[in-house]
């Protein structure tokens, strides 16, 4: 469990510091920082800060008893959502530092989660494509839209215009593709999140197969495009046909995932 916030929200709270009974704590100042960080697992332990705000809580001195420090970060710009993926992690954290000249500074962390909601898209075109193997197979598929919210339903149809190969079954997959790095150092990790059987058996010419795939059971995130030049996350619908000789034919189509305020 972690506190949940969204961009432009106020972050306010209290920090309690209590020395061990009978002892004093000498310090060179106390501060709290709000940090937005990206960690690449290939460079584990190193964080890239894209947000860094500081509030000084106390001047150098001594603590003899429990003391409470209120703090506030007003209308903080937190443009990216919290994310934990295969090769990258984006996190937000409050970092409290009691600076000391000897014995090392005392540092404590508190993670919190950021989710950002967007309005429904004003334009949401359907997806219509044709797939074919010359003189063997010709199909058309249609999805009702190209942008989906995280609890949406994918509705569509597949039309068989020409079938001269013996198809055994057909599946629809949801794939997440995470890209990290850039140029020659780009690393791509593809994960199949869902596999939905559309058809079991050979179709005939003129047949139409309906699609209705509910997204709510799956752990989806919004689409992330080039987050701070460190990583991207994209989603694809992958249509897979398998013939009786176990040859696979597939067609992939990118879709956009959004977190919609009045639904999620």
CATH fold, domain 127-258, is Immunoglobulin-like (2.60.40)
pLDDT digit string (tens) for 13-43? 999 999 887 788 889 999 999 999 999 887 7
Give yes or no for a contact between 148 and 257, defined as CB atoms under 8 angstroms apart: yes
Dihedral over alpha carbons 40, 42, 47, 51 (to 10 degrees):
-20
Neighbouring C-beta atoms of residue 173, cutoff 10 Å? 17
Percent of the chain with pLDDT over 70: 98
Q: How far apart are CA 142 and CA 132, in angstroms?
A: 15
**pLDDT, tens digit, 9 for 90 and up, residues 194-229:** 998 888 877 778 888 899 999 999 989 999 998 988
How confident is the model over 151-161, as pLDDT tens digits?
A: 999 999 988 88
For residue 184, give the 3-state DSSP assignment.
helix
Matching fold, domains 4-114 and 127-258: yes
CATH number of 4-114: 2.60.40.640
Contact partners, residue 237, CB within 8 Å, separation at least 6: 143, 154, 172, 173, 174, 175, 252, 253, 255
pLDDT for res 264: 42
């Amino acid at each position: 469990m972690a506190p949940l916030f969204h961009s432009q929200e106020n972050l306010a709270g209290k920090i309690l510091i209590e020395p061990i009974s009978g002892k004093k704590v000498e310090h060179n100042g106390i501060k709290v920082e709000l940090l937005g960080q990206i960690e690449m697992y290939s460079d584990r332990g190193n964080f890239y800060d894209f947000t860094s705000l500081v509030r000084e809580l106390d001047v150098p001195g001594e603590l003899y008893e429990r003391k409470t420090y209120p703090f506030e970060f007003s209308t903080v710009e937190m443009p990216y959502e919290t994310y934990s993926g295969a090769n990258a992690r984006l996190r937000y954290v409050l970092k409290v530092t009691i600076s000391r000249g000897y014995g090392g500074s005392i540092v404590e962390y508190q993670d919190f989660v950021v989710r950002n909601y967007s309005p429904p898209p004003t334009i949401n075109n359907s997806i219509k494509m044709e797939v074919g193997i010359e003189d063997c197979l010709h199909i058309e598929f249609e999805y009702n839209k190209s942008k989906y919210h995280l609890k949406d339903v994918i509705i569509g149809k597949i039309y068989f215009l020409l079938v001269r190969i013996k198809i055994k079954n057909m599946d629809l997959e949801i794939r997440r593709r995470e890209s990290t790095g850039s140029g020659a150092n780009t690393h791509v990790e593809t994960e199949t999140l869902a596999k939905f059987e559309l058809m079991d058996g050979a179709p005939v010419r003129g047949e139409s197969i309906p699609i209705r795939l509910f997204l709510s059971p799956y752990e989806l995130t919004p689409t992330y495009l080039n987050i701070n030049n460190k990583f991207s996350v994209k989603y694809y619908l992958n249509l897979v046909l398998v013939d009786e000789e176990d040859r696979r034919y597939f067609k992939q189509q990118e879709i956009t995932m959004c977190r919609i305020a009045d639904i999620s």
